[in-house]
Amino acid sequence: MGKIMHIHHVKKLAFRSASALAALPLLFSASAFSATPEPVDVTVTFVEAITITEVNALDFGLLDSTMANTETVAIDTADGTTDGGANIVGGTQEAAEVTITATAGVAVTLLVNNVTDGTHYTLASFVCNYNGAGESGCDGGGQANTSVASATVLIGATLTRNAVAMTAGVDNGSFDINMTYD
């Protein structure tokens, strides 16, 4: 008989404990632990995909095969050249030209990267002119602009002769021009 009473007493205690726990939420108001709701806005701007189309390559023309190691030839975005060693011997010297379409009025960065040098030279010090806004550096960290719907971009660079033994002939390189929305 003592066992039955003991079990009955344990059941009563468990029931009373559960009842006390169930009553706890009544002691604490839900509003006491929550803040007033705050609406949060969502902003979205849909933009057109940026397209870049090459119009013409960066062209150094004909350079003298006796060009010495470390001598440079530079072409700016207005097709102007700097050639202290008189290494330009003919052909056409011309800045690269691309057209870029994008959504107008958005912050963008124009960047030259992924440069592939020729066998006998390196390319560096890239300059760009986006939509006639003036020439400035566009390698490294890139060039900040505000986009227009359709723009012409002119790209110049400095070619530096390296120490690889010269063999006359075609020695083409390349680079990527990228524009991204900021």
Contacts of 133 (CB under 8 A, 6+ apart): 145
Nearest CA-CA partner of 145 in 170, 128, 165, 125: 128
pLDDT of 147 reads 97
Please say whether the dihedral angle defined by the alpha carbons of residues 60, 66, 67 and 70, taken in this order, is positive or negative.
positive
Place of tokens 């632990």: 33
Mean residue pLDDT across the chain: 89
Instruction: Quote the tokens at residue 110.
Output: 């124009």
- What's the rounded Cα separation, in Å, for the pair 99 and 151? 6
Reported pTM: 0.79
pLDDT 10s digits, 123-153: 999 999 999 999 999 999 999 999 999 999 9
pLDDT per position as a tens digit, 71-89: 999 999 999 999 999 999 9
